[in-house]
Chain A
Amino acid sequence: AQKITQTQPGMFVQEKEAVTLDCTYDTSDPSYGLFWYKQPSSGEMIFLIYQGSYDQQNATEGRYSLNFQKARKSANLVISASQLGDSAMYFCAMKASGSRLTFGEGTQLTVNP
């Protein structure tokens, strides 16, 4: 069975600071992929970043980076230089065996001015 756990229901960060959103996963498959999505208050789902289980380096996309620790089964999202527009719900998701994408319950990030 696949499981994604996001233990932080809510996080607060000051504008221009960095913030880490936690994600741990559970799978017995050696091949898997991890995704992060952003959902602003308007409701749409926006893809942010992807990490494959065999990728040698941590993924980065602009201000987003993924701190991938395979032995700990964690894939934390790091947002650098937070902006007010980063306030949103953030979801971690995993695709392991089969054709299913499993989502965590999300973390609500609030960026304070």
Chain B
Amino acid sequence: NAGVTQTPKFQVLKTGQSMTLQCAQDMNHEYMSWYRQDPGMGLRLIHYSVGAGITDQGEVPNGYNVSRSTTEDFPLRLLSAAPSQTSVYFCASSYRLGSGQPQHFGDGTRLSIL
């Protein structure tokens, strides 16, 4: 009963490096999303997907790419890391969004950009 699995849990990058944050869910959920959480703030939506092959931008998409080739996986790519992207990143999934369907969250990835 894994739920939503995010890897890695911690990562330190240098400015300009690229990396991919992995997210996988085993609940056959249609909806998946990525958020970032900065200190003292709520979660802000980066990108989301309503199904395999379908993605869209959220509130703060700049500097990030996503793809959804399978129902299970929704990786988040940082193209050229910047210190402003230092944050905690959460992946979430739900069968659908709304209608009482809560999002299930991963444990988060703590990312530091030097």
Instruction: Tell whether A and B belong to one assembly.
Output: yes
Interface positions of A (Cβ within 8 A of B) = 4, 6, 32-33, 35, 43-45, 47, 50, 52, 91, 93, 95, 99-106
Q: Is the CB of A99 within 8 A of B107?
A: no
Known: A95-B98, A101-B33. A44 touches B107 (CB 8 A): yes
Contacts of A6 in B (CB 8 A): 42
- Asked if A99 contacts B102 (CB within 8 A), the reply is no
Knowing A45-B90, A45-B92, A99-B31 are in contact, say whether A106-B99 is a contact too (CB < 8 A).
no
The 8 Å CB contact of B48, one of A47, A91, A100, A102, is: A100
A44-B108, A91-B43, A105-B41 are known contacts. Are A99 and B100 too (CB-CB below 8 A)? no
Assembled-state Cα–Cα distance A50/B41 (Å): 21
Task: Judge whether A95 and B97 touch: CB under 8 Å.
Answer: yes
Given contacts A45-B105, A106-B41, 16 further A-B contacts (CB under 8 A): A35-B102, A43-B88, A43-B107, A44-B107, A45-B90, A45-B92, A50-B102, A93-B43, A99-B97, A100-B45, A100-B48, A101-B33, A101-B97, A101-B103, A102-B45, A103-B35
**In angstroms, how far is the closest chain A Cβ from the Cβ of B76?**
16
Task: Give B residues with C-beta under 8 Å from A.
Answer: 31, 33, 35, 40-45, 48, 50, 56, 58-59, 88, 90, 92, 97-100, 102-105, 107-108
Q: Is the interface of A mostly helix, strand, loop or mixed?
A: strand
A-B contact pairs, 15 of them (CB 8 A): A4-B42, A33-B99, A33-B100, A45-B43, A47-B104, A50-B102, A91-B42, A95-B98, A99-B97, A101-B97, A103-B42, A103-B43, A103-B44, A104-B42, A105-B42
